[in-house]
Amino acid sequence: METESIATKKSLFRSDAMQRLMAFAALIVLFVLFSIASPNFFKFDNIVGILLATAVNGVLALGVTFVIITSGIDLSVGTVMTFSAVMTGKFITDWGLPIPVGIVGGILAGGLCGLISGTFIARMKIPPFIATLGMLYVSKGLSLVISQLMPIYFNDTPIFRQLAMGSILGAIIPGLEIPNAVLVLFAAAIIANLILTKTVLGRYTFAIGSNEEATRLSGVNVAAWKMAIYALCGLFSGLGGVLMAARLNSAQPALGSGYELDAIAAVVIGGTSLSGGEGTILGTIIGAFIMSVLVNGLRILSVPQEWQIVVTGGIVILAVYTDILRRQK
Amino acid sequence: MGDVIVQMTGIEKTFPGVHALAQCQFELRAGEVHALVGENGAGKSTLMKVLAGVYKKDAGDILYKGASVDIPNPRAAQQLGISIIHQELNLMPHLTVAQNIFIGREPRQKVRFMLDEKEINARTEQLLSMLHLNLDPRTKVAELTVAKQQMVEIAKALSFNAEVLIMDEPTASLTEAEIGELFRIIAHLRDQGVGIVYITHRLEELPRIADRVTVMRDGRYVNTSPITEVTRDQIISMMVGRTIYEAAPEVPENPSQDVMMEAKNLRRGNVLKDVSFVLKKGEILGFAGLMGAGRTDVARAIFGADSLDSGEIYVKGKLAHIKSPRDAVAHSIAYLSEDRKRYGLALGMDVEANIVLASFQKFLAWLGWVDATRTRDRAKVMVDMLAIKTPSLQQKVKFLSGGNQQKVIVGKWLTADTDILIFDEPTRGIDVGAKSEIYKLLNELVQQGKSVIMISSELPEILRMSHRIVVMCEGRITGELTNAEATPEAIMKLATQRGEIVQMETDSTKGDA
Ligand SMILES: Nc1ncnc2c1ncn2[C@@H]1O[C@H](COP(=O)(O)OP(=O)(O)OP(=O)(O)O)[C@@H](O)[C@H]1O
Ligand SMILES: [Mg+2]
């Protein structure tokens, strides 16, 4: 009996809640530090800028969270995002399809990429690292082929840009001009959280990451669920692509490499374990914000961009290290 | 006993290099407990995995309730009403007890995609109380002891309301009380007409629980008979194909009074309360007690796996500062852990590598090259001596049968050749023949002047092997007996020393039910 109470105390300290708390505290600390260091940091416009900068990376990271909890990895989210953006451009500008159709088409294009990676991983047992590395190149190449190396602009459909950059919130509450893209991020996060914690898909995501063989022996069709999880990750990449295209008012086929690493970094900073079985959406969102606050704050302090990248790397390692320390206690 | 419910005939199964099942057959009736026995690697688990849809058979027929069936995957087996408790724990450590039990068939809400977590927990609560298990459905499995995890597996298998229930060595890591509870449940299920397959190496359990017994050897069917019509010795000789005499090995005289190691006032939280004892040179010191009495904690503390609050450890008269397993190894202490999957083996490496893993230094040649000839020779000696059943030294350990994996760990620590060996449940899941082989090796070791601490929940083993026996109860040492004084009664009395507390605990478990 007594030993059990010790165990509970320990587990409280080790719990996911603790990690989220720490990540959140880190975010607050960054906020306070930058606010003190520069009067330009804590300004409405700058905060909106941070939110907007987080939107795309945040959406990508949501999908990656699922994959990493299964103890997999997806290296293709950045280029799949670009592929989806290009497809959206193709649909809306080149083919003249209605905007909603174009958007759904773009998102589904991302989902298809994820489904294909998932099929290679689950059915043909190709390691996730390799399968998604392949998808990284394939989607990057296809973006260039389809766009014929040229950006596709949405100049005929100004409403498309408004979908991301306009502000419904500002229209309702004057002064609170937060771009829709940010709302999309939060809506996507809420949906992702619902899926992860309340649905069968979420349950099997954790189960597969915790012990894949045991999950299989319990009669769960692990291959099918894995495909679904990678497809879901692809859908989020697709959504990221649409947001990106709307924000830039164009699909830029050469953009996108490197985004996958930012997404993975956000997930890891948010306390999701690369060895699988644990992770939260809230953590990922906080992780994504930590990254953009950092970049934004350093830029305001006129730290050169090269050094911003170095600092980001340091933060990733620091975050994982504190997580390891917490587990050892 | 009811009608025949499962009839397997002519079953064939081959793995690369291993003919695991050859023309094997098995019959199960409704309402019987059918024991399945055989040496390590005889093919018991494989045969049952075929029935449970884990492995596809190469050839043969399975009749289920008289109809020929194909069982391509675990789900198909579940749908037929066949449920299995695997020999190795198969749980998701990051999920809760309830989530583990209902994995793959979670109660859903009206929207079919959504889980009904309340229902999952409520149904688990019911199930656990039926089993008299004092567990919170919301506890993460990673936080449970191995014994509790095993009980979760059992609860999970029962929750299917299966008509055929396969149990692959379910008692290997359970306490006496839990075994009693399990047997009560098994008897109850049998009365309800469930057919139960029961795999075990504890042959003494058979008369208590089984109706019939089937013996397998080398992947072949040997014999089936009612348990009342065969003796233990007959079963053993069918298992090994010859008669072996289980002569109780004499406990060798221990001429030495030199102290090899001394523990003084070890304390750690609530698990170790003032533990002191002496280990002499050339002796086997048995540690008896109920599961959870703190025996494993003593071992882990001495080995530096857990840190102590206070206390001192002397090795060969000198104070030893043991802060980590590395320090322990430097003081020539080895520890064979009870949880083989987690701490004992590099599952993805081969037999040879695992056997020499803890003692590479001894096999180094010039400039740090590993002397492959010598590691191979050494591994071969161990494989022969412990009769480890493997197609080659290069077989990956994860492909060995459960008992043979355990033998590999034993072989690893015997190779390490340290002065002090702590063996925690060394013969768990090991067949009778290999057991006596391990006992012989232990005796040889102490005759060479090494010292052994043996933790075991099997009283006969402790009584047979130990020079002295230390008994623990709730983190304290409650007594010490010489081999001559020790009887099962004396040990059990000390193991439940604090009568009132034990009484209270059994009351509270009953009360929760
Ligand atoms: N997946 C596998 N790949 C290769 N060989 C295997 C595999 N599974 C089992 N074997 C081999 O098949 C034989 C039978 O193994 P099985 O696990 O059925 O034995 P067992 O009777 O259950 O033994 P134990 O009492 O040790 O559990 C062994 O020689 C084992 O090494
Ligand atoms: Mg077995």
CB B249 within 8 A of CB B442: no
Residues 6+ apart with CB under 8 A from B6: B26, B27, B28, B51, B62, B63, B64, B82, B164, B195
Q: Which residues of B touch A207 (CB under 8 A)?
A: 92, 95, 99, 103
CA pair distance B275, A177, nearest whole angstrom: 68
Amino acid in the structure at residue B423? F
Q: Which of A3, A202, A218 sits opposite B74 (nearest CB)?
A: A218
- Among A292, A231, A240, CA closest to A60: A240
What pLDDT, on the 0 to 100 scale, is given for residue B503? 43
Q: Is the Cβ atom of B402 under 6 angstroms away from ligand 1?
A: yes
CB B217 within 8 A of CB B20: no
| pLDDT band (50, 70, 90) for residue A318 | confident
Model confidence pLDDT, tens digit, residues A291-303: 999 999 999 999 9
Mean pLDDT over residues B236-244, rounded?
Answer: 76
Q: Taking the domains of chain B in order of start, what are their residue ranges?
A: 4-240, 255-332+420-431+451-513, 342-417
What pLDDT, on the 0 to 100 scale, is given for residue B511? 40
**Interface membership of A7 toward B (CB under 8 Å):** yes
Q: Which residues of A touch B93 (CB under 8 A)?
A: 210-211, 277
**Interface membership of A147 toward B (CB under 8 Å):** no
Task: Please return the burial class of A157, using the count of CB atoms within 10 Å of its CB with bins 0-12, 13-18 and 19+.
Answer: middle
- Residue B511, phi then psi, degrees to nearest 5: -60, -35
Q: Do B94 and A220 touch (CB under 8 A)?
A: no
Nearest atom, ligand 1, residue B389 CA:
29
Mean pLDDT over residues B474-478, rounded?
Answer: 89
What pLDDT, on the 0 to 100 scale, is given for residue B499? 45
Indicate whether A270 pLDDT > 60: yes
**Interface membership of A116 toward B (CB under 8 Å):** no
| pLDDT band (50, 70, 90) for residue B247 | low
Amino acid in the structure at residue B287? F
Mean pLDDT over residues B330-335, rounded?
Answer: 88
**Based on C-alpha coordinates, what's the Rg of chain B?**
24
CB B427 within 8 A of CB B456: yes
Q: Is the Cβ atom of B399 under 6 angstroms away from ligand 1?
A: yes
What pLDDT, on the 0 to 100 scale, is given for residue A116? 98
Q: Which residues of B touch A221 (CB under 8 A)?
A: 75
CB B289 within 8 A of CB B308: no
Nearest atom, ligand 1, residue B403 CA:
26
Indicate whether B118 pLDDT > 60: yes
What pLDDT, on the 0 to 100 scale, is given for residue B2? 82
Lowest mean pLDDT among A5-19, A183-197, B173-187, B235-249: A5-19
Q: Taking the domains of chain A in order of start, what are their residue ranges?
A: 59-257
Q: Is the Cβ atom of B46 under 6 angstroms away from ligand 1?
A: yes
Indicate which residue's Cα is closest to atom 22 of ligand 1: B45
CB B414 within 8 A of CB B444: no
Which pairs with CB-CB distance under 8 Å and at least 24 residues apart come from A22-25? A22/A271, A22/A322, A22/A326, A23/A269, A23/A270, A23/A271, A23/A283, A23/A286, A23/A287, A23/A290, A23/A319, A24/A286
Lowest mean pLDDT among A304-318, B35-49, B185-199: A304-318
Q: Where are the alpha helices (DSSP H) in B303-401?
A: 325-330, 351-356, 372-385
- Among B38, B41, B36, CA closest to B17: B41
| pLDDT band (50, 70, 90) for residue B501 | very low
Fold matches, B4-240 and B255-332+420-431+451-513: yes
Residues with CB under 5 A from ligand 2 (ion): B 45, 87, 401-402
Sole residue written with tokens 């394939």: A138
What pLDDT, on the 0 to 100 scale, is given for residue A312? 87
Nearest atom, ligand 1, residue B216 CA:
21
- Residue whose CB lies within 8 A of the most ligand 1 atoms, among B11, B19, B46, B405, for a mutation test: B46
Q: How far is B250 from chain A (nearest CA, A)?
A: 39
Residues 6+ apart with CB under 8 A from A271: A16, A19, A20, A22, A23, A278, A279, A280, A283, A287, A319, A323
CB B165 within 8 A of CB B153: no
Indicate which residue's Cα is closest to atom 18 of ligand 1: B43
Model confidence pLDDT, tens digit, residues B187-239: 999 999 999 999 998 888 899 999 999 999 999 999 999 999 999 889 988 98
Helices A44-69, A200-210: axis angle to 10 degrees equals: 60
Mean pLDDT over residues B363-381, rounded?
Answer: 81
Strands B220-226, B212-217: pairing is antiparallel
Q: Which residues of A touch B78 (CB under 8 A)?
A: 219
Mean pLDDT over residues A63-69, rounded?
Answer: 98
Indicate whether B502 pLDDT > 60: no
| pLDDT band (50, 70, 90) for residue A199 | very high
| pLDDT band (50, 70, 90) for residue B474 | confident
Strands B451-455, B420-424: pairing is parallel
In B, minimum Cα distance to A278 occurs at B94
Q: Do B74 and A219 touch (CB under 8 A)?
A: yes
The CA–CA distances, whole Å, from B402 to A33, B25, B341, B405, B436 equal 57, 22, 10, 5, 18
Give B270-297 as a 3 state SS string: CCEEEEEEEEECCCEEEEEECCCCCHHH
Q: How far is B54 from chain A (nearest CA, A)?
A: 7
Q: Which residues of B touch A215 (CB under 8 A)?
A: 92, 103-104
Q: How far is B79 from chain A (nearest CA, A)?
A: 10
Chain B residues near any Cβ of chain A (below 8 Å): 54, 73-75, 77-78, 86, 90-95, 99, 103-106, 108, 113-115, 117, 140, 143, 269-271, 292, 505
Indicate whether A11 pLDDT > 50: no
Mean pLDDT over residues A59-86, rounded?
Answer: 97
Q: How far is B330 from chain A (nearest CA, A)?
A: 23
What pLDDT, on the 0 to 100 scale, is given for residue A4? 38
Q: Do A214 and B91 touch (CB under 8 A)?
A: yes
Nearest ligand to residue B401 Cα: 1
What pLDDT, on the 0 to 100 scale, is given for residue B512? 41
What pLDDT, on the 0 to 100 scale, is given for residue B179? 86
CATH class for the region spanning B255-332+420-431+451-513? alpha beta
Q: Do B104 and A6 touch (CB under 8 A)?
A: no
Indicate which residue's Cα is closest to atom 27 of ligand 1: B402
Indicate whether A19 pLDDT > 80: no
Q: Is the Cβ atom of B360 under 6 angstroms away from ligand 1?
A: no
**Interface membership of A224 toward B (CB under 8 Å):** no
Share of chain B above pLDDT 70, in %: 92
Q: Do A199 and B270 touch (CB under 8 A)?
A: no
Characterize B395-410 residue by residue with b for buried, 16 or more Cβ atoms within 10 angstroms of its Cβ, and e for exposed.
bebebbbbbbbbbbbb
CA pair distance A293, A270, nearest whole angstrom: 14
Indicate whether B248 pLDDT > 60: no
**Average pLDDT value for chain B:** 87
Q: How far is A114 from chain B (nearest CA, A)?
A: 21
CB A82 within 8 A of CB A252: yes
Nearest ligand to residue B347 Cα: 1
Of residues A186 and B476, more confidence is placed in A186
Give pTM, 2 decimals.
Answer: 0.83
Q: How far is B151 from chain A (nearest CA, A)?
A: 16
The CA–CA distances, whole Å, from B301 to B268, B294, B364, B456, B478 equal 9, 10, 30, 17, 19
Indicate whether B250 pLDDT > 70: no
**Interface membership of A15 toward B (CB under 8 Å):** no
In A, minimum Cα distance to B99 occurs at A203
CA pair distance A282, A271, nearest whole angstrom: 10
How much is the ipTM here?
Answer: 0.85
What pLDDT, on the 0 to 100 scale, is given for residue A6? 38
Q: Do B106 and A203 touch (CB under 8 A)?
A: yes
Terminal CA-CA length for chain B:
30
CA pair distance B106, B103, nearest whole angstrom: 6
Q: Do A207 and B95 touch (CB under 8 A)?
A: yes
Indicate whether A18 pLDDT > 80: no
Indicate whether B510 pLDDT > 80: no
| pLDDT band (50, 70, 90) for residue B341 | low
Nearest atom, ligand 1, residue B201 CA:
25
> From the CA of A212, how far away is ligand 2's center (Å)?
20
Share of chain B above pLDDT 90, in %: 42
**Under CATH, which number does the domain B4-240 receive?**
3.40.50.300
- Residue whose CB lies within 8 A of the most ligand 1 atoms, among B45, B51, B350, for a mutation test: B45
Q: Where are the alpha helices (DSSP H) in B192-321?
A: 206-209, 232-240, 295-302
Model confidence pLDDT, tens digit, residues B420-454: 999 988 888 888 888 888 888 888 888 888 899 99
> From the CA of B429, how far away is ligand 2's center (Å)?
8
